[in-house]
Each structure stands twice: as C-alpha cells, then as structure tokens.
A and B are shown apart, each in its own frame.
Chain A
Amino acid sequence: MSSACRQEEIINQHVVPEERPGAVILEIQGLFSKLVPLECILCYLLDANCSLFLAVVVGQSRLLISYQSADIHCGNCLLEAWYFLWLTDLLRFRWRQHRVAETRTSLLWNGDQAAGMARLVTASQLHWPMLHPVRMGFRSQGKSKEAEIKRINKELANIRSKFKGDKALDGYSKKKYVCKLLFIFLLGHDIDFGHMEAVNLLSSNRYTEKQIGYLFISVLVNSNSELIRLVNNAVKNDLGSRNPTFTGLALHCIANVGSREMAEAFAGEIPKILVAGDTMDSVKQSAALCLLRLYRTSPDLVPMGDWTSRVVHLLNDQHLGVVTAAASLITTLAQKNPEEFKTSVSLAVSRLSRIVTSASTDLQDYTYYFVPAPWLSVKLLRLLQCYPPPDPAVRGRLTECLETILNKAQEPPKSKKVQHSNAKNAVLFEAISLITHHDSEPNLLVRACNQLGQFLQHRETNLRYLALESMCTLASSEFSHEAVKTHIETVINALKTERDVSVRQRAVDLLYAMCDRSNAQQIVAEMLSYLETADYSIREEIVLKVAILAEKYAVDYTWYVDTILNLIRIAGDYVSEEVWYRVIQIVVNRDDVQGYAAKTVFEALQAPACHENLVKVGGYILGEFGNLIAGDPRSSPLTQFHLLHSKFHLCSVPSRALLLSTYIKFVNLFPEVKGTIQDVLRSDSQLKNADVELQQRAVEYLRLSTVASTDILATVLEEMPPFPERESSILAKLKKKKGPSTVTDLEEAKRERSADVNGGPEPAPASASTASTPSPSADLLGLGAAPPVPTGPPPSSGGLLVDVFSDLPSAVAPLAPGSEDNFARFVCKNNGVLFENQLLQIGLKSEFRQNLGRMFIFYGNKTSTQFLSFTPTLICSDDLQANLSLQTKPVDPTVDGGAQVQQAVNIECVSDFTEAPVLNIQFRYGGTFQNVSVKLPITLNKFFQPTEMASQDFFQRWKQLSNPQQEVQNIFKAKHPMDTEITKAKIIGFGSALLEEVDPNPANFVGAGIIHTKTTQIGCLLRLEPNLQAQMYRLTLRTSRETVSQRLCELLSEQF
C-alpha cells in the first residue's frame, strides 16, 4: 500500500468525524502539498459551526495529530501559548471560502523541529496538552463521561451489527473492528461479544487474521472454559503447523492465557518442541518461556524428564536469545528441582565468563550501548543464585568473573549515555547480589560494599536507591556487616535530604538492617526525628521498626520506655495496638523499669493534649504500678486519679473501659481514694451508660468495691503475672506488612547475632495472660467461665488475643455478634450479605421449590492477603440432621486476596424442623487463625408454597384446625413502624399467599400456604391483627402440626 493510501485510510478510519465529509479534508491536504512543499504542514480549518478541526501532517504522508475543539477558536485555548502562536503563524484555511487566507512559509520551524516535537524519545521535556486523540469520532478526554459512554455504546452497536450482519466481513474490516474492540476494552468498558468471531479468526489460513484473532484472545479471554476448548483446538493445529510463524503465534497464546486447561492440553507437547533438533531459534525461545509459564500455573502438569538435560545444554546455544530464554526457564525450574539442573551451574559460569571477557563488539547485536549482553548476564547471575557456591574448579572461574565485573565498574564509562551506565550497573548489582547470596568470599563482600558505598553518593537517584537496597542484604552478612556500618552517616544524611520518598524508605530499611547494639541509640534517635516529618504512607512501618529496634537493643529499659512514649507522642495515630501492648508486656515483665515507667507516663500525661494511646498505656501502668510513685506528694493517689479521669471523657469506649479497670485497681492500691472512685462509678454517666460494656464494668466494680473485704480485693486485683515470652507481636505485624520473604531472612540472621536481651521470665499460664490483656472484652476479674475466643476480629483490634489463641484452633467459635439479627433478616428474603467483618464477607443467594432448595454461599476475601486452609463447615445437630439434609462440596483451601469463592449447598427438607444449621469458617490469615460461626438462615418457612383461596374456604379450613394443639398465638409489641405495605411484603416474603378481602376487618392480614417436606405436606393458615394504638400485634398460626405452628409463629413474630 502506498503511503498516500495509508494516510487516507487513517483519516477515514479515525480522524474525520462522521458529520464532516472526508473528501474535504483530503482536498485541503492535496492543496497544501502543492502550495507548500514543506516537510511539515500544519493546518486548521474552521467549519460552519466554528468548531475547529486541526491536523498536523509531517512529511506529507503521516498524520500525527488531530484535534477538534471549539475552545481554541474562543481563545480559551487548551494549547500552550507558544504553540498557539505557531498555529496562527501557519497556514490558515477557511474551507467555507476555499482559499488560503495567509501563507507564511518562512516559518519559525523546520521539518526537524516538527519531527523533534512529535518524538517521544527525544522530547520528553515538552508538554503537549493537545494530544488528546480523536478516535472513531469520539474524544476520549470528552466533555463528559456520559457522552463518551454514549459514543462507545453506539460504536459497539455498530460493530455488533457488522459482526452479526449477513455480509461476510473482509479481513481488513475484521481487523479494524477487533482493534476497535481492544481499544474500547482498554478504556475500561466491558466487551461481551466478538469472542466467537475471534475464535473463528484463529482457524483462518491467513496470517493477518490469525494474528488478530490471537491478539483478541490473549487480551480478552480469561477463563471462559467453553471458549478455551475451542481456542485449544486452534492452538493445537497451529502448534503442529509447518509454518514457524504459526507455531510462534500458538506458543504466544498459550503463554499469555496460561490457564490450567491449556496446561493440561499442551504441557506434554512443548518440551518436545523445545528440544527438537530442527526447531527454529525463535520458536525455541518462545517454547522455553511458554513452558515456564505453564510450569508457573500448574507445576504438577509439567513432569521432569529426559528433556531437562537437553534444556540445560541450551545454555551453550549459538543464539543468545535462546540462551536468555533457557536461563529464565532453568532458574525457575531449578528452584523446585535443584538436582535435575545441577549441571547448569558450570555451563552458566563458563557462558558468563565468555560474555564478561569478550570485547564489546564480539556479540554484535546483543551488545547494548557497549555492554556485552547485559540481560543475559543478569539472567545467568540470577540462575547461579539458585545454588550454593560451586565446587573449587568452577568457583575460581566464577570469582574471576565477579572480580572482572567489579573492576569494570571502576573503569571510565565508554559512553556518556545513561543506557550505558544502566546496563553496566544492572550486571554489577546482580553480581553483588550473587556475592551476597554466596556469602563466602570476604574479599568480594567488602569490595561489593565499597562499590555500593560509592553509589550511595552518586548523582543518579536510581543508583542511590539500588545501593541502599542492596546494602540491606549485605548488612546481614557477618563479613560485611561492619563495612556497611561505616556508611551510617551517609545513610542518615540520605534520610534527611533525599527528595524521593521511595529512596528515603530504602534508607529507613537500611538503617533498620544495619542496626546493632553499638549504634541502636543513634539510629533510633534519627528514625524518631525523621518520623516527625515522614510521609504518612510510611509512618506506620517506621513506628513498628523503631519499636522493634528499641526493644531488641535496649540495654537500659528506661531508654526503651522513653522511646515508646516518644513514639506515641510523635505519631500516636500510627502506633498500632501491638506496639503499646508490647510496652506493657515488657514493663510488667521487668520489675526494674516499673517505677520509672510509672513516673514517666505520669509526667507524659500532664501534657494538656495527649494521644489516646498514651492514656491507655498510662491507665494500665498506673493501675498496676501507680503505688510505686505514690510516695511523692506531686503524684499522690488522688492526683493520679484526677489526672487520668481528666482524660476519661475524651476517650473512646474501649479506653474508658480500660480506665474503669484502672480505677478499681486504684481502690485496691490506695484505700484512701475508694470513696472518690465509688462516686465516679456510681454516677449516672457510668451506671446508666448506653454502652453495655461500660455499664457492666461500672456496676460490677462498684459492687465489688462495696461487698468485698480488703483481702478479697487484694487477691482479685493482684498485680498482673508476667506475660509468657514469645515472638514479639510487633515483629509478626511487620512481617505481615512487608510480606513474608523480605523481612524473615534478615530477622533470622539478626536474631542469631543478637543475644536475648529481654531476659526470660517464666511463662505464665495462658489463661492468666488472657485476663490481663488490656482489651475491653477480657474479663479483668477472671469471673467469666471461659476465656473469650476471638470470633474473627480484625488483626489490628485484637492482635494479642489472636496471637494467644493462634496455636490452639478451638473447635467452633461461638456465634459471631449480630448473627442473630442477620439471621432474622433472612427469614423473609433469600439473598443478601449474611456476615461481614474486616477480613471476610459472606453473601447468600438461595432459591427454594417445594421441599428442595439450593443455596449459594459466597465467601469474599476483603484483604489483599491470601486466606490459607480455608474450611467452611456446616454443622447440624443430630435432631436437625434427621429432618434437614444438606449436601455441599468442599471449597478450595486458599482464597486469594480480593477473591471470592462460592459454595453451593443442596437442601432437602425431610420433615419439619426448628433449629438452624451453623456455618463455621476457619482459616489462616497472615499468621493468625480465624474462626467465624454464623447461623445459616435455612428456616422452615422457606419450604412454603402459597395457596390462594376465597374467604369462605379460608374460614372453613380455619375452623377445621380449631384443635388447641394446632393453634399457636403470640401477642407482641411492634419493633418496627407499623406500615401496611411493608407488612404485606413481609408476609409474602415469608412464603405464604396474602389473601385479600378475606378477613372482615380490612386492617388484618391473613395468609395461607403449604409447607412441603419430603414426608408430608402441612397446610398453614395465619392471621395477623395489628393494633395501631397499642403498637401491638396478635399473630395466630393454625396448622395441622403443633411443632410447625410453633416454629412459624416464632419466626414470623420476629419480623414486625
């Protein structure tokens, strides 16, 4: 196709809005090309409506920009001023008059400039607000979202009709429409057709059609199994094709979709293609990566075999592209099957050595800005990180390689281009990563560390970032830890001066990694001072890190207490519960710091505004150890109490509950303030508090303080026993935050080096620690029968409780709070959300017919972390089991973050029943065990079939059921506003028919229906009589079976 033709095509296809004839534009362009033999022509046209149409043409053959706007003409220009100047200086053409108004060809610009302006590669500093494209006639940056949607719907309808139309589309049109669909999909609109057309394209013999079909499939098909089967057929054909281009397309498709079905179909085939002698290089490359993808999706379907040794030998291939692909494949496979691929180590080393020592021109095209094959070098160095240091012979050669790479870093650059240094340093960083991984050559480690030290002050931000990151891992090596530490000032400086938050974050990480007892005080102080100005996004992480370092390296626990209190002062909002629980655990466990802690919190609480977390810590510590400072008249018991109580009213309910516990502890510690405290407890704001927890505490504590003797008080309110030592919950939290891989190794390494600084008090019984946890739900008096089991609380609100119990997955959690309410809501409806907390959402969808039902339970993971060992169980009592049969299949034990799984339950009602099944869900979230129970709303009324009947029939039957056992009546107060329409809807939702004009009193409601069970059918009649004055209802149920009447009456009474 000629270039003119192409241009025309572009204009027709994309640029010309429908209402403007394309021919006019072309004519104008033709005009220009004659008039102005410029390389670049820029024109704009005013049409009758004064809206502007603008096109930039470069080299008379390329359309670069098109723009359509009334704004420019009005002077309200979206264009930058200088650009507008160009416009006016350039050719003008009013197409109404068909003449060129002005032609100034001695322009400010020449072809180069124009080209330069349009180039993405060179013109990064230019800002082009006008590049909002006009595509298919609509502006993606349109005036309104609605207009865009309207336009797109129109376009979709058009394409749909083209696809469905009688006329077979030619290849070009198919391609055009598929491209449009892709673009519409990219803009975020759903595409619900075209899939079949795309699949049909796959079996075309023509490359263009096939290719566009594959493109559509790889972008738009996810796991529509029906379709995948069809796609698989086409892929199979192409895979076996003699045409390597087709084979390549098929391999790309498999790699891009990578579903399990595809793995099942092709996992056996691809290794053969990969190692066959006659396979072309490009196909080999694709086959290697395709196999890798399938192995990632379904490792079980890719069996190791003879082919593995031949794959290893691909590392010797002539073609560097093949070697790169093979290195990627082997790296992944070797992680799971190190034995199979052991031989790759020596091959990789020799290959690497050949690359590193080659002159920069040897590898021709694979030399990138004077660096020989940088990507391959990186891949090989990665591969070597799957294995421990090789045996001596190979090791010598490898060390030589690594030394060469380190030496090269010191050589003057061969090019000033940033690409040169990027490529060179990519290899260097990977080499350092390998050196750190081997962790066996002190000499190399120290050299690596020095090299990174140089980078720490490099002017390239990227290098500083990477140097900080790499040093983190170096810091955990015993050979280089000291060397890393010498850079502490630079790193602290980076923390203070770097403009980029990503870099500062790396600096925090590195400080954390290089911290040991010698520099802990300095590092913690720097982090604290940085915290005052730190970005909000990283504050919580810094708080956790400071808390951990302060605890781990505390020689002097007064320093620790000061640090944590500072943390709360500076960033109270970011101090999670784990942090302040931990400071309390440590203070309780170490009696040498208790007095100091009491004194410090007392002083800190003097501040007029202090964070609620400080009040909590203060409340707890003074409640336990307030006596240690009571001797000082400045902190007399009464002063302490007044100080705490002055904060009481500003606090949230959980903190108030904690303070109430502190007060009762004061009663024991300081008999002289008993009266004051009793007065407080007795006040209406406590005794009649709307919050049940506060009210209960106030009542119980008041009673306890009046009835109990001093001895009993002293026993009940005794000082807390030490907490059992275990992994710091803060550390667990940080790990969770950072993901398992990043922190663990470091932590393990560090733990070995750091001696146990906590001391190890004897572990106390777990139940004691439950009672002592400062959580509102824990019963301080220990009067509760069983310790409260967390019913799936969010990790932040009950971290410690969860930790305590994480190791004993109790059988079934008690019903989640609110479960009863939710249950009642489902009596009259079938779909909705049954349960929701911060982690999990359970939705229901159900339908019932006669005595059968089907319920879909949807479990949604609301977090971004996987749920592991996810097991929902349906629990029925023996009685219930006999009357209600439930069948279900287990669900996948892992639920990905953000994902939803569904479970179908088949239900059969055998006989009438009263109880409801319980749905128990157990899973692991992060490190903690979660256990949730909810009542599943399968109730007797679900098996109702409505029956219509006339007034006469109704009363006849009503009389037949007059036996006293058959009738159940309930008179109750209305819980909701008495609205006729709502009541009607509820009765219909309940399942019975609502009979109009049956009851002589029109205010009453009557209903009739049949309960279907497997064994029998039970006719039910109901009558509901509202009394508006008294806001009461009388509900009467008559059925042939007493238990049914009883149960239905119970269920329905709850609804009004």
Chain B
Amino acid sequence: MIKAILIFNNHGKPRLSKFYQPYSEDTQQQIIRETFHLVSKRDENVCNFLEGGLLIGGSDNKLIYRHYATLYFVFCVDSSESELGILDLIQVFVETLDKCFENVCELDLIFHVDKVHNILAEMVMGGMVLETNMNEIVTQIEAQNKLEKSETFIFQSPRQDR
C-alpha cells in the first residue's frame, strides 16, 4: 500500500503531504524532512527508487520519486506495490494536474490546496490506487467543478466572493 504521498520543492518546502497511516504531526514533519534529505542529495538520472527512511518504516518501504522542475513527487510505498507501476502513477498524477490547471506549476499547488487534494483523492484512496485512467479522473474533477460553479451561481453572485 501507499503509506504517504509527499510533494516538496527543491528547498524542501512541503507543497503537499498526504499520509495514509496515522502519524503525529511532528512525525509527519520529520518524515518530510527526512525524505527530502534522502531524495534531494541524489543525482539526476539515477534510479527513481530507494529504501525508505527510518521514520516511515525503514528498508521494508521504498521511496519512489520523480523530480519535475522545482518539485519532487515522492510516494512512500510498502513491498506490495509495483515500483514501475507507482512511477507511472506519479506521471499520471502530474499529467492530470497539468490538464486540470493548464500548465501546472508550483504555485497551483499552493493556491489550490483543495483542488490538488481532490485530484489525488480521485486517484488514491486510503493508500490504495483507486483510478488510473486519466480521462476518468479529469471527468470526475470537471463534474466537481461544474457542481461547484452551479452552487456558486445559485447561492451567490461571484462579486460577493471576495
């Protein structure tokens, strides 16, 4: 299963964290730092897998990551997941983000915490892969947006938004 999904930038600033196992808040931050430390010192073009840090559960777990421009996408998984499968899942995740945000960049993750979580929720649930079909995910998200818009329209005018 997937234990955690972390996104942080080149400086180790967290941009998204999602834990599928209960950890205390402090431990969560420590895991983020530890993971950043492990991942960031690696060269480009080495392999995308490495053994997990101690906090997340040691060598029974793997960190599978991809580095995009300013961001690291890291999935911490146990031995029951296929490494290449997860690697592709990260790609699907980023491509989906890109579709939903049109040219996604780091700021999107900050300004739209909720959206990113929603997109992730369509893909991974409780640590298991829910859906891998990008079109299906995008359809769901678009349906959500539509619902959102219709509610905004019914309940208030956009001007009042601010």
Q: Which residues of A contact B (CB under 8 A)?
A: 1-2, 5, 9-10, 12-14, 58, 62-66, 115, 118-121, 123-124, 126-128, 131-133, 135, 140-141, 170-172, 175, 178-179, 182-183, 185-188, 190, 206-208, 211-212, 215, 219, 222-223, 245, 251-252, 255-256, 258-259, 282, 285-286, 289-290, 292-293, 296, 320-321, 324-325, 328, 331, 365-366, 368, 374-375, 378, 382, 419, 422-423, 425-426, 429-430, 461-462, 464-466, 499-500, 502-503, 505, 737-739, 741-742, 864, 898
**Among candidates A64, A466, A500, A864, residue contacting B58 with C-beta atoms closer than 8 Å:** A864
Q: Which 5 A-B pairs have the closest CB atoms?
A: A255-B126, A293-B126, A426-B84, A500-B46, A461-B47
Q: Is the CB of B69 within 8 A of A126?
A: yes
Q: Is the CB of A170 within 8 A of B160?
A: yes
Distance (Å) between the CB of A40 and the closest chain B CB?
Answer: 11
Within 8 Å CB of B103, what residues of A? Answer: 58, 62, 64, 115, 118-119
User: 6 interchain pairs (CB within 8 A)?
Assistant: A127-B10, A171-B151, A179-B114, A290-B126, A368-B92, A864-B55
Known A115-B103, A325-B130: A503·B47 in contact at CB below 8 Å = yes
Which residue of A63, A171, A219, A462 is within 8 Å of B84 (Cβ)? Answer: A462
Chain B nearest Cβ from A366, distance in angstroms:
5
Of residues 109 through 145 on chain B, the ones whose CB sits less than 8 Å from some CB of chain A are: 110-114, 117-118, 121, 125-136, 140, 143-144
Give chain B nearest CB distance to A271 CB in angstroms. 16
Known contacts A126-B69, A500-B42; is A120 also within 8 Å of B105 by CB?
Answer: yes
Contacting A at CB under 8 A, from B1-59, are: 1, 9-11, 13-18, 20, 22, 24-25, 27, 29, 32, 42-43, 45-51, 54-55, 57-59
Other-chain contact of A290, B22, B125, B147, B162 (Cβ < 8 Å): B125
Question: From residue A63, how far is it (CB to closest CB) to chain B in Å?
Answer: 8
Query: Nearest Cβ distance between residue B5 and chain A, in whole angstroms?
Result: 12
- Choose from B55, B118, B127 the contact partner of A293 (Cβ within 8 Å): B127
Asked if residues A738 and B114 are in contact (CB atoms below 8 Å), the reply is: no
The 8 Å CB contact of B82, one of A124, A186, A429, A465, is: A429
Nearest-CB distance from A393 to chain B (Å)? Answer: 28
A135, A182, A321: residue with the most chain B Cβ atoms closer than 10 Å: A321
Beta-carbon contacts under 8 Å, B57-77 to A: 57-60, 67-71
Contacts of B110 in A (CB 8 A): 14, 133, 135, 183
CB–CB A120/B94 < 8 A: yes
Complex: chain B residue closest to A5, CB-CB: B158
Q: Is the CB of B133 within 8 A of A366?
A: yes
Task: List, in ascending order, chain B residues with CB within 8 A of A251's CB.
Answer: 125
A465, B63: Cα distance in complex, Å: 13
* B133 and A321 within 8 A (CB): yes
Closest to A121 in B: B98
From B73, which residue of chain A is reached at the shortest CB distance?
A120
Chain B residues with CB below 8 A from A119, complex form: 69, 98, 103-105
Q: How far is the CB of A528 from chain B (nearest CB, A)?
A: 23
A366 partner residues in chain B, CB cutoff 8 A: 132-133
* CB closest residue in chain B, given A185: B25
Q: Which residue of B lies closest to A291 (CB)?
A: B126
Chain A contacts for B11, CB-based, 8 A:
132, 141
Given A429-B82, A739-B60, A864-B55, A256-B71 contact (CB < 8 Å): no
Chain A residues whose C-beta falls within 8 Å of the C-beta of B127 in the assembled complex:
293
Nearest CB of B to A116, in Å: 9
Most-contacted residue by chain B among A14, A58, A133, A505 (CB, 10 A): A133
Are B85 and A252 in touch, CB under 8 angstroms?
no
* B16 adjacent to A186 (CB under 8 Å): yes
Report how far A380 CA is from B74 CA in the complex, Å: 25
Q: Quick check: B111 and A131 within 8 Å, CB to CB?
A: no
Task: Pick the contact of B114: A123, A212, A320, A374 (CB < 8 A).
Answer: A212
- When the two chains form their complex, are residues B156 and A375 in contact, meaning their CB atoms are under 8 A apart? no
Given A14-B111, A365-B134, 9 further pairs, Cβ under 8 A: A118-B103, A140-B13, A175-B114, A208-B147, A222-B24, A286-B130, A321-B132, A422-B91, A503-B46
Complex-state Cα separation, A170 to B114, whole angstroms = 17
Q: Which residue in chain A gives the minimum CB-CB distance to B95?
A: A121
CA distance A262 to B57 in the complex (A): 25
Partner of A462, one of B1, B49, B85, B152: B49
Q: Is the CB of B158 within 8 A of A321?
A: no
Neighbour of B129 across the interface among A258, A375, A425, CB < 8 A: A375
Cα distance, A171 to B160, chains bound together (Å):
10
Point out the residue from B60, B107, B161 that lies within 8 Å of A741, measured CB to CB: B60
Say yes or no: A292 contacts B126, CB within 8 Å. Answer: yes
Number of cross-chain contacts by CB at 8 Å = 257
Cα distance, A112 to B150, chains bound together (Å): 33
Chain A residues, CB < 8 A from B89 = 375
Contacts of A296 in B (CB 8 A): 1
Asked whether A368 lies within 8 Å of B60 as measured between CB atoms, the reply is no
Q: Is the CB of B88 within 8 A of A502?
A: no
The answer to whether A461 touches B130, judged by C-beta atoms less than 8 angstroms apart, is no
**Pair A207/B148 contact, Cβ less than 8 Å:** yes
Interface SS of A by simple majority = helix
A462 and B83 within 8 A (CB): yes
A502 to B133, CA, bound (A): 31
Docked-complex contact B125 and A282, CB < 8 angstroms: no
Contact of B118 (CB < 8 Å), options: A123, A132, A211, A426: A211
Is there contact, CB below 8 Å, between A128 and B147? no
Contacts of B143 in A (CB 8 A): 245
Q: B132 — which chain A residues lie within 8 A by C-beta? A: 321, 324, 366, 368, 375
Q: A64-B107, A133-B106 are in contact. Are A222 and B47 (CB under 8 A)?
A: no
B9 to chain A, nearest CB (A): 7
* B25 partner residues in chain A, CB cutoff 8 A: 185, 188, 190
Pairwise interchain contact B88-A245, C-beta atoms closer than 8 A: no
A742 touches B60 (CB 8 A): yes
Most chain A CB inside 10 Å of its own CB: which residue of B106, B128, B129: B128
A736 vs chain B, min Cβ distance (A) = 11
Q: With A141-B13, A170-B156, A286-B125 given, is the CB distance from A188 to B29 under 8 Å?
A: yes
Whether B104 and A121, one on each chain, are in contact in the complex, defined by CB atoms closer than 8 angstroms, is yes
Tell me which residues across on chain A come within 8 A of B130, comparing CB atoms: 285-286, 289, 321, 325
Kindly report which residue of chain A lies nearest to residue B112, judged by CB atoms: A179
Chain B residues with Cβ below 8 Å from A378 are 82, 85
Q: A9-B162, A293-B128, A502-B50 are in contact. Are A172 and B69 (CB under 8 A)?
A: no
Asked if A462 and B48 make an inter-chain contact with CB atoms under 8 angstroms apart, the answer reads yes
Residues of A near B82 (CB, < 8 A) are 378, 382, 426, 429-430
For residue A258, which residues in chain B have a CB less than 8 angstroms away from its CB? 126
Known: A188-B14, A219-B117, A864-B54. A133 touches B85 (CB 8 A): no
Cα(A121)–Cα(B67), bound, Å: 10
- A482→B118 CA distance, assembly (Å): 50
Chain B residues with Cβ below 8 Å from A500 are: 42-43, 46-47
Docked-complex contact B149 and A120, CB < 8 angstroms = no
Report if A898-B125 is in contact (Cβ < 8 Å); known contacts: A320-B133, A430-B82, A461-B45.
no
Query: Which of B55, B79, B147 meets A898, CB within 8 Å?
Result: B55
Query: Given A1-B152, A131-B105, A140-B13, are A256 and B47 neighbors across the interface (CB < 8 Å)?
Result: no
- Distance from B152 Cβ to chain A, minimum over Cβ atoms (Å): 7
B88: chain A residues within 8 A (beta carbon):
368, 374-375, 419, 422-423, 426
Across the interface, do A739 and B85 meet the contact criterion of CB distance under 8 Å? no
Chain B residue, CB-CB nearest to A63: B107
Using CB atoms, name the residue of chain B closest to A171: B155
- Given A120-B68, A419-B88, A425-B84; A207-B114 close (CB under 8 Å): no
- Are B59 and A739 in contact (CB-based, < 8 A)? yes
Chain B residues whose C-beta falls within 8 Å of the C-beta of A499 in the assembled complex:
43, 46
Is the C-beta of B87 less than 8 angstroms from some C-beta in chain A? yes
Cβ-defined contact, A462 with B59, below 8 A? no
Whether B128 and A1, one on each chain, are in contact in the complex, defined by CB atoms closer than 8 angstroms, is no
Contact A289 B80, beta carbon cutoff 8 Å: no
Give chain B nearest CB distance to A651 CB in angstroms. Answer: 31
Closest to B92 in A: A368
Closest to B46 in A: A500
Residues of A near B70 (CB, < 8 A) are: 120, 127-128, 131
